[in-house]
Structure formats: structure tokens, C-alpha cells
Structure 1
Amino acid sequence: MNNQHQSLLDALNACIAACEWCATACLQEQDVKMMVSCISLDRDCADICALTARLVARGSVHGQHLLRECAEVCKACGDECAKHSHMQHCQECADACRRCEEACRAAI
């Protein structure tokens, strides 16, 4: 596997972990209803990153098609998490989403 693919897979896997942690932490916040959009995007982002990572790892041509959608979902999730920057889990998730978005766009 070349370095570009490995960097992309690293970014995708870091984003999955950050989104899963963020969603779990959001569920423990006082006002969970305020976090519904964040939780939903965290889950969507983790799922699209996981699927993209699997397809890229196996060299599927369909992985290439998913990169654009993955970048869009990562951007949306990062934007939502950035709204809650006073929460460490959201800030770290926003950062991971931004890095993943950039890696996906670079691989398109």
C-alpha cells in the first residue's frame, strides 16, 4: 500500500474514532436535545468513513466514488461540531473531520 493510501486510511480511521467518541460524549451532555444534530452527523460520518476505508483498503474502484461523499459528510460534521467548540469532544471531532475531509479531497 502506498503512502497516500496509508495517510488516507489513517485519517479515515481517526475520524471514525473521533466521531464515535463525540457521539457517546454528546449523549452524556445535560441538554442532549441540543446535541441531536451533532450526534446524528457523528454517526453518519463514522459510517461513511468506515465504508470508504474498507473500499479504499481493498482497492475497489467504488472507493474512489465514495471519497467525494465522504468529504462532504466530514465537512458537515466538522462544521456542526465546531459550533460546540467549548466541548473538548466536539473540538477534537471537528479537527479530525477537517483532516479527513482534506485527505479525501486530496485522493479524488
Structure 2
Amino acid sequence: MENHDHSALINKLMECVAACEHCATACLQEDNVKDMAQCVKLDRDCADVCSQAARLLQRESEIAHQYLLLCEEICRMCSEECGKHEHDHCKKCAEACNTCAEACHAHHQPITQD
């Protein structure tokens, strides 16, 4: 397998992880936490998926570029949910997720089985 420099993509993934973790924590401090439940769920899922994607790229996993397809999907879902809220942390998270989704889109490959 060829050695590729994925540092820019990994940085975007980790920025997304940080934004999602911050957003989830901040959402739990909001007055009406129930209204933020879906946001927190997607933040946590997105952070986990992006973190795993970064690890797969770092170890040059054979499925890393296929996994980015899933990563793009959760980033878009999280961005859409965060975009529904007026909180600053949600707006920043939506932006980070959007940026990450675009980066994943530019690098993912279709899922194939041999």
C-alpha cells in the first residue's frame, strides 16, 4: 500500500471531533436540555465516527477511504441538526461538520467487496 500524507484531512477530522465534543457538553448545560437531545446524540456519534476515521487514515487501513463515506454522512446529519439551533456552539459545530463532510467527500471511495 502506498504511503499517503493525510495530515490535512486528519486535522479536519480532529477539528470536527473537538467541535462536536464541545457542542455536546455545552448542549447539556442549556436550560432546556430535552430540546437539545438529538443534537447531543448526533454530536457524540459524529465525534466517534470522525475519530475512528482519523485513526484508520493514520494506520493506512485498507478501508479508510471507504469509511470516509460513512463519516461524510454523519457529518452532514450533525451539521443539519446543529444548524437548527441558535447557540454559538451549535453554529460552530455545524460549520466544522460541514467542512469535514466536504473533506471526506473529496477523499472517500465507494464501498466494494472483492
TM band (smaller chain) = over 0.9
Partners of 1:34 and 1:66 lie apart in 2 by 30
CA-based RMSD of the aligned residues comes to 0.8
Percent of pairs with identical residues? 50
After superposition, the C-alpha distances for 1:76-102 in whole angstroms (9 at most, x for unaligned) are 000000001x20000000000000000
- The structure that is helix-richer by fraction is 1
Higher Cα radius of gyration: 2
- Listed as ranges, the gaps of 5+ residues in structure 2 are 109-114
Does residue 12 of structure 1 match 2:13?
yes
1:103: which partner in 2?
A: 103
Q: How many residues are aligned here?
A: 105
Q: TM-score, normalised by structure 1?
A: 0.95
Partners of 2:14 and 2:39 lie apart in 1 by 19
Partners of 2:107 and 2:9 lie apart in 1 by 8
- Listed as ranges, the gaps of 5+ residues in structure 1 are none
Partners of 2:107 and 2:101 lie apart in 1 by 10
Q: TM-score, normalised by structure 2?
A: 0.90
Deviation at 1:46, TM superposition (A): 0.1
